[in-house]
Amino acid sequence: MRDNLLKTLDGLYLLCIWSAGVAIFFMSIIIPVGVFARYVLGFGAQWPEPIAILLMVVFTFLGAAAAYRAGAHIAVAMLTDRLNAVAKKVCTVAVDISMALVCLFVVVYGTKLCLGTMGQNLAELPWLPVGVTYAPLPLGALLTLIFVIEKMAFGSQHNRAVVRFDHGLEEAEQTELAGA
């Protein structure tokens, strides 16, 4: 059961990574298109900037969830490195609970923000409801909350092969062990 849950969360992690990667890929294409249209063709297209901003929001919030699971967020450990094991554990639990509460707050109020602005449209993109542009905020917070709960239940997952990108090596090791 535990292994199946962790594999499912590995898939969710990969979904976050790929979504963030696709968002930054398209953003890096759209921005030069806008610059080209403005300075070479002589007209400012309305759509590149809001689409690029939306992609940056997707990249930021989904990427942050993946970074949390990977243990890649900036941490100041100067204080906790000097604590004894019990105090370190207390700090870890306090941080995990604080993270869960902040994520829960953002999920609840971010969802309210999305629903409250669904009837409004962007001026540059009249077909796109404003609530959709805010959707990465509660979605990213929900994914981060899931990874926080995972950390609280199963410990840090930053050493998993899917996070280290060496799952090919892990599969080779398992095949080697099975053949021995």
Each residue's pLDDT tens digit, 126-147: 999 999 999 999 999 999 999 9
Look at residue 88 and tell me whether its pLDDT is greater than 80. yes
Cβ 17 vs Cβ 167: under 8 Å: no
- The model's pTM: 0.84
Question: What is the CB neighbour count within 10 angstroms for residue 67?
Answer: 18
Q: Which domain holds residue 121?
A: 2-179
Domain count for the chain = 1
Look at residue 101 and tell me whether its pLDDT is greater than 90. yes
Please report how many Cα atoms fall inside a 13 Å half-sphere around the Cα of residue 33, on the Cβ side.
13
Q: What are phi and psi of 126, to 5 degrees?
A: -65, -15
Confidence category of residue 150, pLDDT binned at 50, 70, 90: very high
Q: What are phi and psi of 129, to 5 degrees?
A: -65, 145
Cβ 139 vs Cβ 54: under 8 Å: no
Cβ 65 vs Cβ 150: under 8 Å: no
Confidence category of residue 69, pLDDT binned at 50, 70, 90: very high
